[in-house]
A and B are shown apart, each in its own frame.
Chain A
Amino acid sequence: MSKQYETVIGLEVHVELATKTKIFCGCSTAFGAAPNTQTCPVCTGMPGSLPVLNRQVLEYAIAVGLATNCDITRYSKFDRKNYFYPDNPQNYQISQLYLPICQNGGVEIETEQGGRKIVGIHEIHMEEDAGKLIHDEWEDCSLVDYNRSGVPLIEIVSEPDMRSAEEVIAYMEKLRQVIQYLGASDCKLQEGSMRADVNLSVREAGAETFGTRTEMKNLNSFKAITRAIAGETARQIDLIEAGERVVQETRRWDDAKGESYAMRSKEDAQDYRYFPDPDLTPIRVSEEMLQEIRERQPEFRTEKMARYREEFDIPDYDIDIITGEKPLADLFEAAVALGAQPKKVSNWIMGETLRLMKEREVDAADLRFSPEHLAKLIALTETKQINSSVAKEVFEVMFEENTDPEQYVEEKGLKTVNDEGALKKAAEEVIAANPRSVEDYRNGKEKAIGFLVGQTMKAMKGKADPGAVNRLLREFLQK
């Protein structure tokens, strides 16, 4: 590769909104129900049925627009996007083309070099999701589940402002954070409540005009996005270097194979014949409505970070991590509100919680244990009713099943034994049984005490306060 190339990336991010009901009917949006049990004439496109906009969808879309510095379109409309496919029961999707609800926004991200840049948001529009096609290989037929048909989505269309996979991830993380803070979506990539299509082109460094772009679909993790960007960048550079032409087309990323293949090119692109949906009246956003939504906007991350620095004596690093994920911040604040010491709560989150999340691949949004139980666990250690290794053991159980730590400690008999007599007896027995170590210790080998503490803890079945054991042994050995 003789020349230097620059990658230019724009993103179309679809976010499933966390409404209880669908965008145009009253059916539930709950995940995982039996096929076609959450449907009605509207979301199955039966003749004569009509859509009615769910106001919560509009409010969420506006809230996201405000949080991403967009202009809110005061007179907005829904349009029909016409195309035939069985997952789309009306054979048109209700979306927004001509007058999307939010326009001209942007969010700030940190670049790899540690600088800051604004990624522009061209528009945010509201639309309905399609049903799910299930291809039954065994019966050689396709079945459609319309439970997802009509689930509300917003599509956030960025400007082509990103130049690397790192910037793309930073941008998506920023969006996810803002949307999670708003409670507008849980933004889970794996479950598809946040999906991104990557529009990518390459050009010679310093070139003024953009190259021909492709659109990549089926990217359901940050890792897949990173790999797809690398793969597509290399593919386009290879084409250009070989004197060939990049074709404007939609490509599907196969993360297992690590390559993409063409789905459809622009030549056979469909004409969607967009036009305003006559079944839905134009949306007029009043000043009062905007004001109401503005006032309801939650404390966002920057404000939260400032407040944490002010209120809690915890390291900046902890603040950064905890506020990075709304569910962690919620957990932290709730446990503190229950009386737990901020530093202790922060330690549990930064330590065991993050460790187990990583080990067991659990998203912050999917944490099971309640702040009440975390606060109780902290209280148990604070009052020295359990020692720290027992606490970790209890936490693991709590992490999986949200077990009540008090109850669990009680049932399993894990409380620290504060019986002075029993402890003395155990210590004396350990000293008597380990003359070598006693000797070593007395000869100045500090480490030997550790072995003796361990032996004593073992004799106590772990239910002693290691600090107290240590002190007691030293006392005995001084004699």
Chain B
Amino acid sequence: MNIANMTATQLAAAIRAGETTAVEAAEAVLAQIEKEDKKYNCYVTVDRNGALAQAKAVQEKIEAGEFSGPLAGVPVAVKDNICTEGLLTTCSSKILHNFVPAYTAEAVKNLQRAGAVILGKTNMDEFAMGSTTETSAYGPTRNPRNTAHVPGGSSGGSAAAVAAGECIYAIGSDTGGSIRQPASYCGVVGMKPTYGTVSRYGLIAYGSSLDQIGPLTKDVEDCAAVLETLASHDPKDSTSVSRADTDFTTALTRDVEGLRIGIPNDYLGEGLDGEVRTAVLQAAEVLEKKGASVERFDLSLVEYAIPAYYTIAAAEASSNLERFDGIRYGYRTEAFEGLHGMYKKSRSEGFGEEVKRRIMLGSFVLSSGYYDAYYLKALKVKALIKKAFDAAFAKYDLILGPVAPTTAPELGESLADPIRMYLGDIYTIAVNLAGLPGISVPCGEDSRGLPIGLQLIGDCFQEKTLLRAAYTYEQEVREHEQTV
């Protein structure tokens, strides 16, 4: 039994059957981390002793029959912007280099209530600002499929850890594609649920109106199981939604008969890599063969999504990140003069370049005299984008397209040209602006062996449709591979 290669569902079943234990599982994955993480740098913090202690406690409860779900005893990696009580939570920033939260995020609590074993905290772009995990203050994460390439971002550490077997599954956060894009680059499954499905309480905010926590897993079945566990109505989060349809694993049926799928022409246009385009259209054919109807349509407004997104996310971030001032926790500069001198110096030294760039951008668009022209206009664009999606979902059950225009770029390629990096978010960002669920499923590789991701987008609260289509696709491909 190679535990590091197992899915969460398989591993939990093996633990329940007594074929292995939660402790053995944790040890196996920790050994994998020990062996591989020097190459990939997936983790900021590995909580070896904590993980083993949790595993022991969970195993006892599994034996006592208290835990019986598909995640009991399974080791998970948590993105480093999600608070974990007593465990360093840095957002991959120097400014939080010593921050140990006094409480655990609601999403993580939900996992713990299901018997998850927390391995540690994964690397990310600093404060989730970036698309490559290169803006981390703790060094970049490398793509396990090819270490010359980035794993994507901002949840790059989580995606890479899943791909490298350094965890069985992981959770990340997605503000503009930060789960789906690294999942695509690393060849794993990643899902951003409908805004409000998973509590944000304990997620260190980047763009509060866009942020959602979601799973990164080895397959669609795990994705459904993890999302089912993460989802809950949380009275501590005013934007949390109460929904009765979070039994997502019930959607894992191999059936897309009659499903209406739309492919936006806007998602196949200029800038899209030819190999990515081919792989995505082939994936659409697979679903079509299983009985779905597929047609092209014009979604419109896609080109406005990026400026609207960077305006709104940066504006919210500029305010959300004000609390990092070196007064109560985190980095404080050594020598300073006066209160405001301390603020300025601590923040100048504590934040990285990309974060500072977005704080400045956000402060600018909110400043008096520019608010209407930028921030308010961006909100109007956001509303129009939502309308465009509403019109699309009147015709289609789901929207299909690529996750990103290309496969993973090489390290160092993106940071030199931030605008180009921002443009890489073109297919994922509108989903956040409209609050929709989106999933990334592997759909092949390019000629260099780098994974390509297929993106499926559903209307609000239509995760089950997404999961059903993604599961059907995955099963078809698996069967095909086995027969070849």
- Residues of A near any B CB (own CB < 8 A): 41, 44-53, 80, 82, 84, 86, 89-92, 144, 271, 273-275, 278-281
Residues of A within 8 A of B103 (CB): 41, 46
The number of chain B residues touching the other chain, given as a range, is 35 or more
Count of CB-CB pairs between chains A and B under 8 Å: 93
Is B250's beta carbon under 8 Å from chain A?
no
Which of A47, A86, A92, A274 interacts with B101 by CB under 8 Å? A47
Is B366's beta carbon under 8 Å from chain A?
yes
Mark out the residues of chain B between 340 and 397 whose CB falls within 8 Å of any chain A CB in the assembled complex. Answer: 340, 343, 363, 366-368, 371, 375
Q: Quick check: B208 and A278 within 8 Å, CB to CB? A: yes
* Cα A144 to Cα B328 with chains together (Å): 10
Which of A47, A84, A274 interacts with B83 by CB under 8 Å? A47
Residues of B within 8 A of A279 (CB): 205, 208, 238-239
A69 CB, min distance to chain B CBs, angstroms: 30
Residues of A within 8 A of B322 (CB): 82, 84, 90-92
Is B272's beta carbon under 8 Å from chain A?
no
Q: Quick check: B366 and A273 within 8 Å, CB to CB? A: yes
Residues of B within 8 A of A44 (CB): 328
Mark out the residues of chain B between 311 and 332 whose CB falls within 8 Å of any chain A CB in the assembled complex. Answer: 315-316, 318-319, 322-325, 327-329
Given A84-B340, A86-B327, A47-B238 contact (CB < 8 Å): no
Which of B201, B209, B319, B329 interacts with A48 by CB under 8 Å? B201
Given A84-B325, A275-B375, A52-B89 contact (CB < 8 Å): no
B183 CB, min distance to chain A CBs, angstroms: 23
Chain A residue nearest to B344 in the complex (CB): A84
B337 CB, min distance to chain A CBs, angstroms: 15
Residues of A within 8 A of B236 (CB): 50, 52
Which of B83, B315, B325, B368 interacts with A91 by CB under 8 Å? B325
B312 CB, min distance to chain A CBs, angstroms: 9
Residues of A within 8 A of B239 (CB): 278-279, 281
Chain B residue nearest to A41 in the complex (CB): B103
* Cα A47 to Cα B375 with chains together (Å): 24
* Cα A52 to Cα B200 with chains together (Å): 12
Which of B203, B237, B367 interacts with A271 by CB under 8 Å? B367
Residues of A within 8 A of B371 (CB): 273-275
Residues of B within 8 A of A51 (CB): 238
Known pairs A46-B103, A50-B236, A84-B340; list 16 more (Cβ under 8 Å).
A46-B329, A47-B83, A47-B101, A47-B205, A47-B323, A47-B324, A48-B82, A52-B235, A52-B237, A82-B318, A84-B322, A84-B325, A89-B328, A91-B323, A273-B367, A275-B316
Given A86-B327, A275-B366, A46-B319 contact (CB < 8 Å): no
Is B105's beta carbon under 8 Å from chain A?
yes
Is B402's beta carbon under 8 Å from chain A?
no
Q: Which of A82, A89, A271, A273 has the most CB of B within 10 A?
A: A273
Chain B residue nearest to A90 in the complex (CB): B323
Chain A residue nearest to B235 in the complex (CB): A52
B118 CB, min distance to chain A CBs, angstroms: 16
* Cα A274 to Cα B369 with chains together (Å): 12
Is B484's beta carbon under 8 Å from chain A?
no
Residues of B within 8 A of A92 (CB): 319, 322
* Cα A45 to Cα B82 with chains together (Å): 15
Q: Quick check: A48 and B204 within 8 Å, CB to CB? A: yes
Residues of B within 8 A of A281 (CB): 238-239
**Between-chain CB contacts (< 8 Å), 23 pairs:** A44-B328, A46-B102, A46-B103, A47-B83, A47-B89, A47-B91, A47-B101, A47-B205, A48-B204, A49-B201, A50-B237, A82-B322, A84-B322, A86-B327, A90-B322, A90-B323, A91-B323, A91-B325, A275-B371, A278-B208, A278-B209, A279-B205, A279-B239
Q: Quick check: A82 and B201 within 8 Å, CB to CB? A: no
Q: Quick check: B368 and A271 within 8 Å, CB to CB? A: yes
Q: Quick check: B319 and A45 within 8 Å, CB to CB? A: no
Residues of B within 8 A of A144 (CB): 327
Residues of B within 8 A of A41 (CB): 102-103
Mark each residue of chain B from 403 to 445: 1 if its CB lies under 8 Å from any CB of chain A, else 0: 0000000000000000000000000000000000000000000
Q: At the interface, is chain A mostly helix, strand, loop or mixed?
A: loop
B122 CB, min distance to chain A CBs, angstroms: 16
B197 CB, min distance to chain A CBs, angstroms: 15
Mark out the residues of chain B between 64 and 118 whose CB falls within 8 Å of any chain A CB in the assembled complex. Answer: 82-83, 89, 91, 96, 99, 101-103, 105
- Residues of B near any A CB (own CB < 8 A): 82-83, 89, 91, 96, 99, 101-103, 105, 200-205, 207-209, 235-239, 315-316, 318-319, 322-325, 327-329, 339-340, 343, 363, 366-368, 371, 375
B58 CB, min distance to chain A CBs, angstroms: 24
* Cα A348 to Cα B207 with chains together (Å): 62
Residues of B within 8 A of A53 (CB): 238
Q: Quick check: A273 and B368 within 8 Å, CB to CB? A: yes
Q: Which of A46, A47, A278 has the most CB of B within 10 A?
A: A47
* Pairs of residues from A and B, 4 with the lowest C-beta to C-beta distance, nearest first: A91-B322, A278-B209, A273-B366, A278-B208
Q: Which of B91, B102, B200, B319 has the most CB of A within 10 A?
A: B319
* Cα A110 to Cα B324 with chains together (Å): 50
Chain B residue nearest to A273 in the complex (CB): B366
* Cα A53 to Cα B235 with chains together (Å): 10
Q: Which of B82, B202, B324 has the most CB of A within 10 A?
A: B202
* Cα A41 to Cα B203 with chains together (Å): 13
* Cα A144 to Cα B371 with chains together (Å): 33
Q: Quick check: A50 and B238 within 8 Å, CB to CB? A: yes
Chain A residue nearest to B315 in the complex (CB): A275
* Cα A273 to Cα B202 with chains together (Å): 25
Q: Quick check: A80 and B238 within 8 Å, CB to CB? A: no
Residues of A within 8 A of B208 (CB): 278-279
Residues of B within 8 A of A84 (CB): 322, 325, 340, 343
B172 CB, min distance to chain A CBs, angstroms: 15
Residues of A within 8 A of B339 (CB): 86
* Cα A144 to Cα B315 with chains together (Å): 28
* Cα A92 to Cα B205 with chains together (Å): 14
Chain A residue nearest to B202 in the complex (CB): A48
* Cα A342 to Cα B209 with chains together (Å): 60
Chain B residue nearest to A269 in the complex (CB): B368
Chain A residue nearest to B91 in the complex (CB): A47
Chain B residue nearest to A52 in the complex (CB): B238
Residues of B within 8 A of A48 (CB): 82-83, 101, 105, 200-205
Residues of A within 8 A of B325 (CB): 84, 86, 91
A98 CB, min distance to chain B CBs, angstroms: 10
